[in-house]
Amino acid sequence: MTEVLSPLAGSVLSLSAVPDQLFAVGAMGPGIAIEPPAAVVEVVSPISGTLLQVFPHAFVVVGDDELGVLVHLGIDTVQLKGEGFTALAGKGDFVSAGAPVISYDVPAIRAAGFASIVPVVILERPADTLVVLPAEGDDVLPGTPLLTV
């Protein structure tokens, strides 16, 4: 069993609350979503592992047990071409759970007209292998236990 930590501060929502059909129906994989506060937030790795991909608006970290976690900062934010995001780690880096990966300027994303919600998706695992720990509406901080796989 792997514990997945919250990658940022915010309020927990169900994945179905994400205003993107692929995330909302679980097509990308099962998980949870977090609505961040209106602030610049540091997004941390939810597990210890290697950064398989780091984009300005998203990253994938894979643990030694092959568990992959996608953290996607906002919806359609790829269109911003990196504006509002600062990478703090790079593809191929090993990161410990709780290590900073990206700085996320939530007010700038919202001002540009994009949803700031953050899907946290478990890749290539069935939904019934996840246990969500906080209740919908609960506030979490970076490093708070979010779910177990």
Which pLDDT score is estimated for 134? 93
Report pTM: 0.97
Active site residue 57: no
Cβ pair 61, 52 in contact under 8 A: yes
Tell me if 28 is assigned to some domain: yes
Tell me if 77 is assigned to some domain: yes
Q: What SS3 state is found at 83?
A: coil
Domains of the chain: total = 1
Which pLDDT score is estimated for 3? 96
- Look up residue 135 and give its two tokens: 């209740």
Residue among 5, 33, 49, 72 flagged as catalytic: 72
pLDDT in tens, the chain (149 residues): 999 999 999 999 999 999 999 999 999 999 999 999 999 999 999 999 999 999 999 999 999 999 999 999 999 999 999 999 999 999 999 999 999 999 999 999 999 999 999 999 999 999 999 999 999 999 999 999 999 99
Tell me if 141 is assigned to some domain: no
Instruction: Give the C-alpha distances (Å, rounded to integers) separating 77 from 46, 81, 100, 111.
Output: 20, 8, 20, 12
CATH of the domain at 81: 2.70.70.10
Which pLDDT score is estimated for 145? 96
d(CA 139, CA 4): 16
Which pLDDT score is estimated for 63? 97
Which pLDDT score is estimated for 74? 97
Which pLDDT score is estimated for 45? 98
CA angle, 117 then 123 then 129, to 5°:
100
The phi, psi pair for 84, rounded to 5°, reads 95, 0
Tell me if 142 is assigned to some domain: no
Give residue 80's domain range: 3-135
Tell me if 149 is assigned to some domain: no
